[in-house]
Each structure stands twice: as structure tokens, then as C-alpha cells.
Copies of this chain bind each other. A is one copy, B any other.
Amino acid sequence: MTEPFSFALKVRDGAARTGAIAMPRGVIRTPAFMPVGTGATVKAMFPEDVAATGADIILGNTYHLMLRPGAERIAKLGGLHKFMHWEKPILTDSGGYQVMSLAKLRRITEAGVTFQSHLDGASIELTPERAIEVQCLLGSDIQMVLDECTPFPATRDEAKASLDLSMRWAERSKTAFATMSAPGQALFGIVQGSVYPDLREESARTLIDIGFPGYAVGGLAVGEGQEAMFDMVEVTAAFLPEDRPRYLMGVGTPEDMLGAIARGIDMFDCVMPTRAGRHGQAFTWQGRVNLRNARHAEDPSPLDPESACPAAQYERAYLHHLVKSGESLGGMLLTYANVQFYQELMARAREAIAEGRFAQFADDVRRRYRDGSEAGNAQD
């Protein structure tokens, strides 16, 4: 009998790893980057173009989808894959993070979190059980336990109390998943613990006792800075089983991801490539490019000659014009090029790990990004 979810670790290069997750809907090559398809669409991209970038899996947001169009409606229409024309695996978050960042009048109790929809003010309760139910209605392949993304900064006591709640919710999530899920679906646990190494260890051990086919590192990229993030990734990864995929949630820049891969992370998601694309920013093999800059106005060179993406072959002068004119084609092309860059970055990282030269590869990309990126980019 085929395993419905299996992770094969192929090569290690230091702490960096490359491998593959096999699932009924397809194989996810790791390290993997998951483009974010918040509202059942990777913004400004046709689904076939998302696939063409090399993405093996995308992420959907439970919070957004349960509010609009509603999980029950998506289930009635045949599930999220059919709804959004995406046949490969989908990972959904639990909704907890967006409740805290987007919803109004949030209240957390032992039972779960109640909040008002940011769309129409409706009062909604999200419990660990409901989060699993919604993800099962969506039909997502990799589901996440409901947790509290511990705010930053948090005192040790606050982080410990938050962590304890998340661990109890993780257990309830697993119980709910056991009765609700379909064959071939998987549930990941999420390590919390803020910036306290002993809490990270405690969280990892607790989750391992509960037992999950994969583990996420949560509560990072929330303002702690890159150094603290890398420290926590390193600390956490040390306590996670070698034979399970590790997912760093909500990260990040190319430099963030390279640093995390070097510390043993296998999966990422982030709105950065899509959001940046809609704002005139590009990620290229030559560094960050701000297409709003006047220096591109008469530049006939392609956005990124090193990329295989069709969108990256468009001339910078044209992209500059589109971005300055507010034409949606600008966002369409830059989003496409950015998502493909992220996929190419993962592909080259996998190759470098397989060939035992990941550190050198990461140094090279970091140098390109340090020396080649345009100033003023982050502020745009």
C-alpha cells in the first residue's frame, strides 16, 4: 500500500536538506516555496502560470475563505482545488494568524477565538475543531493546527502561557483531524515559544509526543529581526525529527529563506513575491529591482535575462511605463516574474544541496542581492 503522505530526505549538505514529499495530488520537492493564494487566487496570476513557474504546492488562507465565499460553499462546489483550478497540493493555514491581524474584537478563550469578520462584522467562533472542519471542507492536502501566533515582544511568562494554549489546541486539532479528514490529507503541528530557546524546545517535544507528519516553525518574522529568527530556527530544528518536513511560516526574503534552508528548513510561504509584484518591485537574479525608478524609463534590457520566465523577458522600459501608468499588466508581469524567481531560487537551492555546494550558492545569491539591489526599494 502506498503511503498517503511520505517525506523522503535525499541529500544533506550541512544542516540544509533536499528531499520530496509525496502526496496523492503530487510530489513537493523540498526546499519548497508555496505562493500564497489567499482568496482562492494567487493574486494577478492565471493558475496555469502559477503551475508553469514550477510551484508544486500553493497556500490558501482559511480565514479569508471561511468568510468569503465560505467553506461550505466551496465544499458544495467540489472543493478548493476545483474551485480555483489548481490540481496540485494545497496547504491551508488554520486561520488563527489572520484572525489576530485582520479581524476586529478578537477574544481568546480556552475554547477558541471569537472575532468579528473584517468584511461584514459578523461574529464568528474559530475553535481548533472548526479550523479543521473548515480545512476539510476546503479539501486541503496539508492542514495546520489552530494555534496562537504569540505576539512579539512577549515576556517569558506570556510566551509560556500562549504556548501552553497552542499545545492544548494542537492536541484537539489532531483529534478532530482523525475523525474529519480524508485519506491522503496531512496535519502539521506548529512550534511556538517566541524567542525563548527552552520554550521552543518544550513546544517541539510536546508536538512530537502528540505526533505529526510535519512540523511548522511559527511565531517568527513578526518583528524579532533576522538574527533572532535564524537563532530560533536553528534551536527549533535541532529538536525536530530528521524524517519530517519543516515549514517556516510566513518567510520571507530570498536572504531569509537561504539562511533558513542552511538551518534545516524545507518549506516556506510568503506574500512577498506577489505583493511586491503588484507594487512595481521585482526579484531577479541580479538583485531587487524597483521598476518605479526613473533609471528604467529608457532601459531596453529585459527584466531578468537569467530567468526562464516569459514575463522576465519584458523590457524594463516597458515595465516602468506600465507601473508608472498604473496598468494592471505591470502587476501581472512582475508577479509572474517574482513567483518564478522564488521557484527558481528553490530549484537552484535543491540542486546546490544535492551537489554539496549549498553554502557557496547561498553566498553567491546573498552577494548578488547585497551588491545588485536598488536603493529605496523597501520603502516603495
Residue positions of A touching B, CB distance < 8 A: 39-41, 43-46, 68-69, 73, 76-78, 83-85, 297-298, 300, 314-315, 317-318, 320-322, 324-325, 327-329, 331-333
- Other contacts beyond A40-B321, A43-B328: 11, CB < 8 A: A41-B327, A44-B332, A45-B329, A46-B329, A69-B320, A69-B324, A73-B298, A76-B298, A77-B317, A77-B318, A83-B317
* Min CB gap A119→B, angstroms: 9
Q: How far is the CA of A320 from the CA of B70 in the complex (A)?
A: 13
Q: Report chain B residues within 8 Å CB of A43.
A: 327-329
Q: How far is the CA of A332 from the CA of B46 in the complex (A)?
A: 8
- Sampled A-B contacts (24; CB under 8 Å): A39-B322, A39-B325, A39-B327, A40-B321, A41-B322, A41-B329, A43-B328, A44-B329, A46-B329, A46-B332, A68-B321, A68-B324, A68-B325, A69-B317, A69-B320, A77-B298, A77-B318, A83-B317, A83-B318, A83-B321, A84-B318, A85-B314, A328-B332, A332-B332
Q: Report chain B residues within 8 Å CB of A300.
A: 77-78
Contact among B45, B73, B332 with A297 in the assembled complex (CB-CB below 8 Å): B73
Q: Report chain B residues within 8 Å CB of A40.
A: 318, 321-322
Q: How far is the CA of A314 from the CA of B46 in the complex (A)?
A: 11
Task: Please give the count of copies of this chain that the complex contains.
Answer: 2
Q: How far is the CA of A84 from the CA of B314 in the complex (A)?
A: 9
Q: Report chain B residues within 8 Å CB of A45.
A: 329
Q: How far is the CA of A39 from the CA of B327 in the complex (A)?
A: 8
In the complex formed, the residue of B with least CB distance to A44 is: B328
Q: How far is the CA of A321 from the CA of B60 in the complex (A)?
A: 15
* Min CB gap A100→B, angstroms: 21
Q: How far is the CA of A315 from the CA of B74 in the complex (A)?
A: 12
* Min CB gap A133→B, angstroms: 20
* Min CB gap A112→B, angstroms: 25
Report which residue of A44, A73, A318, A333 has the largest number of chain B beta carbons within 10 angstroms of its beta carbon: A318
* Min CB gap A14→B, angstroms: 40
Contact among B76, B85, B321, B332 with A69 in the assembled complex (CB-CB below 8 Å): B321
* Min CB gap A50→B, angstroms: 11
Q: Report chain B residues within 8 Å CB of A328.
A: 43-44, 328, 331-332
Q: How far is the CA of A293 from the CA of B216 in the complex (A)?
A: 40
Interchain CB contact under 8 A, B327 and A77:
no
Q: Report chain B residues within 8 Å CB of A76.
A: 298
In the complex formed, the residue of B with least CB distance to A40 is: B321
In the complex formed, the residue of B with least CB distance to A322 is: B41
* Min CB gap A79→B, angstroms: 12
Q: Report chain B residues within 8 Å CB of A333.
A: 46
Interchain CB contact under 8 A, B332 and A83:
no
Report which residue of A73, A77, A320, A321 has the largest number of chain B beta carbons within 10 angstroms of its beta carbon: A321
Interchain CB contact under 8 A, A315 and B39:
no
Q: How far is the CA of A205 from the CA of B212 in the complex (A)?
A: 83
Q: Report chain B residues within 8 Å CB of A317.
A: 69, 73, 77, 83
Q: How far is the CA of A367 from the CA of B325 in the complex (A)?
A: 40
